[in-house]
Amino acid sequence: MKLLTWIFTKVTYTCTFCDAVQTIPLRRVHAFERFNGLDEGQPVLIHCPKCRQGVQYPSSYRSHTGHFIAVDPADLPKNAFLHDAY
């Protein structure tokens, strides 16, 4: 991955309940994946900090291992890592 692309690319997380949106730099998502030792292709979901009832799912991106991550909001994956607060 090119350095400038890696520094400035952002992943958009959208809530399934209230449609709240937050953007997180890709480098932080990669660091989080490495720190928690996630499996290849395992997405990170976040409890919504605004409504606390929904789950925020990421837009499509490549994980730190190079796997393409695409989450369908209607069918959330069972193997996803659920982060409680961000």
Q: Where are the beta strands (DSSP E) in 1-86?
A: 10-15, 21-25, 44-47, 55-58, 61-62, 68-69, 81-83
pLDDT of residue 86: 54
pLDDT of residue 5: 75
* Number of folded domains that form the chain: 1
Domain-embedded: residue 11: no
> Residue 26 belongs to what domain range?
21-83
pLDDT of residue 85: 64
| pLDDT tens per residue across all 86 residues of the chain | 677 877 789 999 999 999 899 999 999 999 999 999 988 889 999 999 899 899 999 999 999 888 999 999 999 999 999 998 65
pLDDT of residue 1: 61
Domain-embedded: residue 25: yes
Domain-embedded: residue 4: no
Domain-embedded: residue 54: yes
